[in-house]
Amino acid sequence: MSTLLTTDGKVASGVRIDYSALEDLFAPRTVAPYTPPPTGIDNLGITSTDRFHIPGVGEFVVDFKGYVRVARSKPTATDWVNAEVYTNLIEMRMFGQTDGVGEIVVTLNNDYLSTGMLRTPFECMSESQPDKACRMAVGAVFTVPKLGLTLYNKEPIELTIDQVRAIPPAGNPGVGRIYRMLPLFRTDTTGGPPAAYLTSLNFAMGTYLTESELAALRGMGSSVV
């Protein structure tokens, strides 16, 4: 039995959450700061600006807009300082377009279980109300129909949020921790070299969506994929 696969054969970047019984959380909803939250599935907006380099084509920068659905575990403690919260990114869709390469849709790689967690950094454990750190290791698929490319990452994209004072960290900016160039591969070939690179990623978590806002974002770029 592989140490890295879930029972249904996905590659997991961390702790898997059984979210079958979790409540779907939508706007309007208030979040208490510095408080371990009840478990649930957060339906949140997201925006991201990603920079790509495709050898032979060039560099392009894309502003994306979309949504995420994040399943959250029950916190491991009732106090803010000690509580760890595990997360699974169970759905994502972002849409963007540029003059150069047309429409791009970003979704999750279903072969990967994109997981994350929030906890107090160890050096801050003696503070009474520390900011938490949030990480999420993501496997994504980038569909670029104008170029005939569907790309994915093998190394996870490490999305991080600092200064987390509420869970979820709605409204916080975050960054993809990319060392210079994250290789992206074509889904339609096996074992080949990278076809493109993700060179930077800056995102911002949105706030809770209403069910109709989520439905509208689900429809963006539906002619692409």
| DSSP string of 37-89, one letter each residue | PPPEEEEEEEEEEEEEEETTTEEEEEEEEEEEEEEEPPPSSSSTTT--EEEEE
Residue 218 binds to its own copies (criterion: CB under 8 A): no
- Give me the residue label for tokens 């974002």: 217
Return the residue of 1, 56, 126, 223 that touches its own copies, per CB under 8 A.
1
Question: Looking at beta carbons only, is 84 or 213 nearer to its own copies?
Answer: 84
Residue 76 binds to its own copies (criterion: CB under 8 A): yes
Residue 190 binds to its own copies (criterion: CB under 8 A): yes
The least CB distance from residue 78 to its own copies, in Å, is: 16
Helix, strand, coil distribution of the chain in percent, nearest 5: 5, 50, 45
Question: Looking at beta carbons only, is 28 or 191 nearer to its own copies?
Answer: 191
Q: DSSP 3-state assignment of 137?
A: strand
Cα atoms found within 13 Å of the Cα of residue 153, Cβ hemisphere only: 23
> Binding mask 93-112 vs its own copies (x if CB under 8 A, - otherwise)?
----------------x-xx
**Binding to its own copies, residues 21-50 (CB under 8 A):** none
Residue 163 binds to its own copies (criterion: CB under 8 A): no
Q: What is the dihedral of CA 53, 161, 167, 207, to 10 degrees?
A: -50
Return the residue of 89, 106, 117, 164 that touches its own copies, per CB under 8 A.
117
- Give me the residue label for tokens 């509208």: 216
Cis check: omega of the bond before 168, within 30 degrees of 0 = yes
Q: Which residues make up the interface to its own copies (CB under 8 A)?
A: 1-5, 9, 11-16, 53, 59, 76, 84, 86, 109, 111-112, 115, 117, 119, 121-122, 133, 135, 137, 139, 152, 154-156, 158, 160, 177, 179-181, 183, 185, 187, 190-194, 197, 199
